[in-house]
Structures are given as C-alpha cells and as structure tokens.
Chain A
Amino acid sequence: MDSPGINPVKEKKGRGLLWSETRDGFLFILPWMFGFLIFTAGPMLASLYISLTRWEIVTPSVWVGGAQYVKLFSDDRFWLSLYNTSYYVFIGVPLHLLMALLAALAVNMNLRGIHYFRTAYYVPSLTPVVANSILWVWIFHPSWGLANAFLEWIGLEGLYWLQDPRLAKPALIIMSFWSIGGQMVILLAGLKGIPIPLYEAAAIDGANWWGRFWRITLPLLTPALFFNLIIAIIGAFQIFTQAYIMTEGGPNYSTLFYLLYLFRAAFENFRMGYASAMAWVLFIIVLLFTIIQFMLSDRWVFYEGDLRR
C-alpha cells in the first residue's frame, strides 16, 4: 500500500490554517448549513425531545425523562429486532460489498460490448421497490418460485425461503445481491480514475495481475470502498421496506427488523415517544460505527489528495 511514488503528498508537511481557507470553507458549506438548520436540525431535535416524553400523537405529551430508554432494555422484542438487524448488517454488508467489487472489476474489462453488461448488471437496481419486493416473493415461493426450481434443477431439495425462520434473513440477503448496481457503478468510477501509467510502471517492474491488483487497484479504490462500506452500513441498519412488504416481520419474528418494529410502535400503536427513543438508540449505534470506521480508515483508506495535518 505504501509503494513509493504513489503518495507524494504524505511526505509534505501540512500547512497551518489560513483565514481565507477557513472563510471559503464555511462559504462552500453554507448552502448545506442553511438547509440543515431550516429543514433537518429542528425535526431531529424535536424527535429527541419526543423521545423523552410519552406522546401518543393525539394526546398531549408528558415529560418522562429517560423512562422510554429504560423501557427499551427490558423489551425482548427490541433486542430481537436489534439482533435481526445486526445479522443483516454484519453478514449482508460484507457479502454485498464483495459482490459489488467483483462485478465492478468484471465490467471494467476492456471487452467489446462491455457496456451492455454494465447495463445488465445495473438494471435490477432500477426496479421500483414495491414491484421488486413482489417479484422476489414470487421467486422465493416454496412451490412455484424460481429459487426452488433452480435448486431442484441442480438436484437439491426445495426450501421454505421466506417461511422458515432460519432462512428468511439469508433469503433477504441473497435478494440484496441483485441490487449491487449502485455500489458497482461507484467502484467502477473509482477504477476508471486510476491512472493507467501506474499499471504500466508496475508491469515494467514485473508485477503480475495479482500484484497489480493488490498494490495499485485496491489501494486506489479504497476511497470508493470506504464510501460503500459507510453508506451500506447506515442503509442496512435501516432495512425496512422488504420486511414491510414481503414478510411482515415473520416468520416467527425472524425478519422483525429494527425499523419495522419502530414503525409499528409509532403509527400502529401510537407510541411515538417509545419509537423516538428507539430511533435515537439506533442513531447512536450507527454514529459510533461510523466514527470507528473513520478512525480505522486512516489505516487502510488511501487518498491521493489527502490533506494531512
């Protein structure tokens, strides 16, 4: 990763803070700050306040301090939904990333007509989520589904994908492989940004494909990989629609994901205070994960234009 010559910036001593740069920095993020203060900050703070109350949307809110948070700890459905979601995050996200990386490498090849393949790989990501969810219910159907037709074709027994508590989460993870298109495109853009002379230089040094991949492609792809990782984790913690439409949290609560439970608390059972407390617990979890990832990223993510202090 620290192959010489790739990273001249690193050796350079960082400049001190400049007033003009500070001013410009804030000017550039001004539109965002403006939007944040008007549209986002208020609702976020409001939900934080609501999480400290008992509020049933149509009744006046009552201040209860941290009681909703305390209640969470003794709610086994809360823990179950957290477990289900973590399963989806920690098994699904790495596999998803790996598939996206393989797909991106594949469609980055210099082959005639490769853009048709790119389109074909991206197409499943275009399907509206409701239609897609229904399609996958059909695919996983125990009697008529494609998934079991395939298993039987290769001589295996069909499975109860979405009806077996042990299989429902893996089934949703498998389904997620069909939506690697977005991550693939981001990685592809990253791959295309790698200067070809680097490969030529490595080839002269006698590096084989694996060596070039390991020493050039992967390090220079880390910003895109890092982006995919962070966004995938944030997104996977908030998995909702699939469970809402396809499984309704079943069978036997095996797909009762965090947000599904939260949604039901809020809009089916009117417990907006409780739901808000759940939301903020999730917020803290995801925030911690993100901070840890950013801290670890110093070790493995490589930026050509890094501003080292």
Chain B
Amino acid sequence: MKDQVSNSVSRRGFLRLSALGVGASALAACMPVAGPAGGDSGGDAGMAEPTAVSFLTQGGSETSFLRYEPLIEDFQAANTGITIDPIWEPGGAIEIQTKLLTLIAAGDAPDSYWAHSYTNSGQAVRNIQLDVNPFLDADDDISGDDFLLAALKDFQYEGRQIGFPRETTSTVIIYNAELFDAAGAARPADGWTWGDFVEAAAAMTQGEGTDRVFGTADWHRNRNTWIKMWQKGGDVLSEDRTKFTMNQEPGLSQVVEIQDWHQEGGIHVPATVTEAGGFSTGDLFTTGRIGMFPQFSVFSNVMSSEFEWDIAHFPVDEGDTRTTRVASAGHSLYGGTENPDEAWQWMKFLGGENAFRHWVEATGLNVPSLKVVAESLLETMADVLPASAQIMLDAFEYGRPEPVAGDWIGVHREVQPALNSIYGIEKADAQGTLDAIAGRVEELAVYVPGV
C-alpha cells in the first residue's frame, strides 16, 4: 500500500513538473487504458483489502492466457481474501528468469512464478525459491505422493521442495510405422535392443540429397545423448556432482557411437540440418524423412503426419539401466515473499486436481504431473495421442531428471557446442573435445555463490 501511495504522488508530481516543459496534455493522453485490478486507484484504505499475490507467468497467445485466467477467477471466488495479480511475459524459461531477476532486484519480486527445470538449478543454488516442504508437511490436502515421482524430483534441490511441477515429459522414441514396414524392419517392441535400433535405422536410410530418408535424428542434442549414456551407466557429472564424467567410460563410447551414426553410418540426419532455428526434426518427420527419433512426450509437432506413427520405449541391452529423461515446467514461490501463506494457498490450488483438469482441457497434450489426471489423460485425449500412449506414462517409472547442479544452464551451454563439434561437419575428436570443456563444466557445477 505504501508503495502505491508514493507512486501516485510521484506521478502527480511528475505531471506538474512536465507541464512546465513538454505539455501535460500529451502525457495524460498516453496514460494506459486501464491499470491492473487494484492497481493505482489508491486512497480507499477504509475496507479490509484482500491480500494480493503476484504471479509471473507465460502469456501472449490466447491459449496461454486461457491456461491461467479461468483458474485465477476460480481461485479468487473460493478465496475472497486473496487476489492474484498476474504478470504476463511472452517468452520461454530464460525470458521469464530475466524478468524475475529484474523484478527481484527492483524490489517488486512476484510472490509466485512459472518455473522450468532448465532454470531451477541456478535459482536453487541462490535460494530464490521458497522451500515448500514445511507447508506440504502441515497441509493434509496435498501430498508429494500425488505427483509423478520423477516430475516431483525435478522440483527438488538438496532436500528442498522448490516448487511443484505442472506439465512434465518423459522422453520416448517416436517412429514412422510405415517406414519400418517398407524397409522390412520389425517395429519397435518392448525389449528391443540397440542392435535392433541400429539395424532398423540402417534399413530405413536411403536416397540422396534432399529426398534422403534417415533412420534416425536428434541424438546430437545433449539431452538425448545423456539418456543413452545413463543407460550404459555413464553420466554428465560424478555422483557428488563435482567431476565431469562425459569424457570417461562408459559415457565416452556412447558419444563416439552417436558420432558414428552421423558420420560413418550416415543413418542420422546431419546435426547441422535440424539445428537450424525454424526447421525442426518434427517437420522432417511429418514429411516422411525420418524413421524414428527420441523426443520428450509432446507430440504437437508430429501430429500432422499423414502416415501411421507411434511411440516406443528406448531400446535396452542386457545389463543396461533402463532410464529416460524427465523434464518439467511448474510453479515456484519466491523465497522472500511477504505473503507466504496466501502464496501457498495459490500454489496448492495450482497443484490440485481442478487446475490440472483445466489444463488438460485448455492446453491439450502436455502430460499433467498429477498422477490421477495423468492416468485419465489416456482416455480423455485418446483421439490425439499415439496408440501406445501408455508408454510415455510407464516411462516415468524409470525416468529421472537431469543431474542439475550449480549453474546448470552454463553446463548445457558448454556441452551442446562440444557435441555439435563432435557430431557436426567439424568431426572433432570426442575425447579431446570433451576433455577441453571439463574444467569449465566442473567450475559451473560446483558453483556456490559468494555472499
């Protein structure tokens, strides 16, 4: 409240000032149409004001507004003492983080905000999110067990619960069934091996130039290379998250194998082709030029395919640890919030069944991280999901989040260019290239900010 009063005073003061020089009428004309609800009206301090909980989230397209606007109305109707002030930001995880940091530094931090596993780690290292474990323990209405475990883990950092996941994804193999059949390859079945995978990919690869059909794609992305490493017991970092281990066995030979797919075998779409902005692997797949590729379980980019397609588990060899990657977006509370109780009510609401049911209806295909809704998704969305959609849910059983540590975005920024050099037209040596980034990755992974 104090802020609002001083704001309106300074604005009035400014208007008076500006009247001297540049014409207040012009300025008055550029005041906005309408301030946000409960914004700058000021002065009506008589009634008991509801507590405002600000909420920074994605907005821009009608669909993205639809994700939260009805929920805000429902929540406010059920909690008359709380209003939600949304701050919409059209952009992804980095843009949201930029806005979040600006608002925090300006003393305008939002009480709650949209969060992504990509940015969670850097924020958690600096204690930005409120640990909601105390609320979770004290509240009987909601439990961590309600969520898909792998997704919930995505919002945990060193024992703290730094938020709840909303939508989540497991990585599965998407395949073009007709290409498999045409090549005489057996379609992926439960228990298929990497040998089967490579054989099928080679069988499907044919043609030249722009018409060439490739057996597979997208393994050049660090997230997919990592899954293959995890299966063979390798990882990005050592268990204590202090050493970079991609340049050691068993991880290294996985990188070398994927490099072979690109170069020797030629069964993989050149990394250079799909790494270019607007063109995505999905576009290649829908036009029948890719046999199969790993992707997180969002299918909007391949849905327009006019051939039979489906999803499959990752191949597993004997002795492999069955693994896939789980990544999530969700909501966090700001650690410095002045209204933690009200913010928790809002967060609990966003973690409840009603909210998840709304999202399934309003946004379609993202996997809800709330178990009960995720399971019913297969029925409600049956007409748009692939035939074996159950697989993407089963994959959560053995899925895991990335081994986030320290400034994890920085680790991504180091590993991906190195992999591009190895897989791409430079054909860089895997060992040497990965050795070269080890020092930097370790520095980023163990980073503890100074006070």
Contact = CB atoms under 8 A, between A and B. Distances in A.
Q: Do A and B come from one complex?
A: yes
Interface stretch (B62-70, B370-378, B419-427): B419-427
Interface in A41-75: 54, 56-60, 62
A251 B126 contact: no
Contacts of A163: 271-272, 275-276, 424-425
Contacts of A60: 451
B126 A269 contact: no
A134 B276 CA distance: 9
A268 B277 contact: no
Interface stretch (B98-106, B159-167, B234-242): B98-106
Given A163-B425, A251-B424, A269-B122, A58 B272 contact: no
A60 B127 CA distance: 13
Interface stretch (B183-191, B315-323, B405-413): B405-413
A140 interface: yes
A184 B420 CA distance: 39
Interface string A158-185: 0010111100000000000000000000
A288 B57 CA distance: 42
B210 interface: yes
B245 interface: no
**Dominant SS among interface residues on chain B:** helix
Interface residues of B, number: 38
Contact of B279 (A137, A164, A269): A137
B417 interface: yes
A246 B420 contact: no
Contacts of B105: 57-58
Interface in A251-298: 251-253, 264, 267-270
Contacts of A142: 270, 272-273, 276
A67 to B, nearest CB: 11
B101 A144 contact: no
A96 interface: no
Contacts of A250: 275, 416-417, 420
Interface residues of A, number: 35
A121 B109 CA distance: 46
Contact of B449 (A31, A59, A162, A249): A59
Contacts of B60: none
Contacts of A138: 277-279
Nearest to A77: B440
A198 interface: no
Contact of A62 (B276, B417, B450): B450
Contact of A270 (B209, B416, B424, B449): B449
A143 interface: yes
Contacts of A164: 425
A256 to B, nearest CB: 9
A261 to B, nearest CB: 10
A267 B451 contact: no
A178 B421 CA distance: 30
Contacts of B128: 58
B328 interface: no
Given A57-B101, A163-B424, A134 B451 contact: no
A31 B18 CA distance: 11
Contact of A57 (B104, B278, B413, B444): B104
Contacts of A34: 21
Interface in A9-51: 31, 34
A217 interface: no
Nearest to A143: B210
B126 A252 contact: no
Given A57-B105, A252-B417, A268 B276 contact: no
A31 B277 CA distance: 44
A134 B278 contact: yes
B424 A253 contact: no
A163 B274 CA distance: 10
B210 A270 contact: no
A175 to B, nearest CB: 13
B122 A144 contact: no
| Top 9 closest pairs, chain A to chain B, by CB | A137-B277, A163-B272, A267-B98, A268-B409, A57-B101, A134-B278, A56-B449, A269-B407, A252-B421
Interface of A: 31, 34, 54, 56-60, 62, 133-134, 137-138, 140-144, 160, 162-165, 245-246, 249-253, 264, 267-270
Interface of B: 21-22, 94, 97-98, 101, 104-105, 122, 126-128, 209-210, 270-273, 275-279, 407, 409-410, 413, 416-417, 420-421, 424-426, 444, 449-451
